[in-house]
Amino acid sequence: MSPPMKDLLSPTRLPLLTERLKLTGLRPTQQRLALADLLFSAGDRHVSAEALHGEAQAAGVSVSLATVYNTLNRFRAVGLLKEVSVDSGRSYFDTNLSPHIHIFNEVSGELYDAPLCLRPEVLEALAPAHTQAVSVDVVVRVRPRHASQEA
């Protein structure tokens, strides 16, 4: 007996998100619109599938975890998201599509962004023969000062 999912999106953002999905060739379904709203309406975000699922539930959106995974993978496939491998065993998805550096606090789990200044010709020069560079992922792992050595 929950309200229709569309009512959870503001009339301002709904048409924009709908258009954005259509441009990628993805159908603007209710679940995709709701997840897109959570992802793209609040600045740059780094989320795990589990975390996004939790946010959706909290927002009253009915969506299964499998659909969250499928949606994140589709969004990545069409270039709406980047996947970040900062911690093996768990995937994070990043709404910041520009080349940048991830600062990962190994103790708190926080993930910050920092700008990356890398001339395109340098990136291309790194690719071995007969390959082209697709992206560069930089992760700087930090700890609180004076913390112990081991994870």
The answer to whether residue 113 forms part of the interface with its own copies (CB under 8 A) is no
Q: Are 112 and 90 in contact (CB under 8 A)?
A: no
d(CA 26, CA 39): 16
- Put the strands of the sheet holding 46-48 in their side by side order: 46-48, 90-94, 82-87
Instruction: Report in angstroms how near the CB of residue 113 gets to DNA at its nearest.
Output: 20
Please, which residue, 87 or 118, has the CB nearer to DNA? 87
> What residues from 49 to 108 belong to the interface with DNA (CB under 7 A)?
49-50, 62-67, 69-71, 73-74, 88-91
The answer to whether residue 144 forms part of the interface with its own copies (CB under 8 A) is yes
Q: Are 9 and 17 in contact (CB under 8 A)?
A: yes
Q: Are 141 and 104 in contact (CB under 8 A)?
A: yes
Q: Which does 58 bind (CB under 5 to 8 A by kind): DNA, its own copies, none?
A: none
The answer to whether residue 16 forms part of the interface with DNA (CB under 7 A) is no
CA 28 to chain centre: 18
Please, which residue, 2 or 98, has the CB nearer to DNA? 2
Residues that bind DNA (CB under 7 A): 22, 26-32, 48-50, 62-67, 69-71, 73-74, 88-91
